[in-house]
Amino acid sequence: GQQVMQIPQYQHVQEGEDFTTYCNSSTTLSNIQWYKQRPGGHPVFLIQLVKSGEVKKQKRLTFQFGEAKKNSSLHITATQTTDVGTYFCFQGAQKLVFGQGTRLTINP
């Protein structure tokens, strides 16, 4: 079935380092969303990307949607301890599927 593959599964960084997670699909996506789940919490919506090549920024977070609309990335600049959590991509237009998530841990 349709899936979104997300890498890496885990990422551990020093506070202040950058972090990137990638989401890839074998099929063209109508849109893609990103969610953050804090430890012990529930997923919380971050952003939705719709257009080919779209780039959106939220403070230190940069989201990109590939030109072919088959991949997306989330980049965090200068991580802070508040960024800890698991980041999921989600494709809602076809099969309502979440990626496996990238768990970010930070050494303060």
Partner 1 sequence: DTGVSQDPRHKITKRGQNVTFRCDPISEHNRLYWYRQTLGQGPEFLTYFQNEAQLEKSRLLSDRFSAERPKGSFSTLEIQRTEQGDSAMYLCASSLSGGLTGELFFGEGSRLTVL
**Site residues, partner 1 (CB under 8 A):** 6, 30-31, 33, 35, 42-45, 48, 50, 88, 90, 92-93, 95-101, 103
Is the bond into 8 cis (omega within 30 degrees of 0)? yes
In 15-96, where do the E strands start and end? 19-25, 32-37, 44-49, 55-58, 61-65, 71-76, 85-91
Q: Sort 55 into a burial class: Cβ within 10 Å, 0-12 / 13-18 / 19+.
A: exposed
Q: Least separation, in Å, of the C-beta of 13 and partner 1? A: 19
Q: Least separation, in Å, of the C-beta of 78 and partner 1? A: 26
> For residues 78 and 93, which CB has a smaller minimum distance to partner 1 in the complex?
93
Q: Sort 101 into a burial class: Cβ within 10 Å, 0-12 / 13-18 / 19+.
A: buried
> For residues 30 and 81, which CB has a smaller minimum distance to partner 1 in the complex?
30
> For residues 77 and 105, which CB has a smaller minimum distance to partner 1 in the complex?
105
d(CA 29, CA 59): 26
Q: Least separation, in Å, of the C-beta of 16 and partner 1? A: 26
Q: Least separation, in Å, of the C-beta of 5 and partner 1? A: 11
> For residues 68 and 93, which CB has a smaller minimum distance to partner 1 in the complex?
93
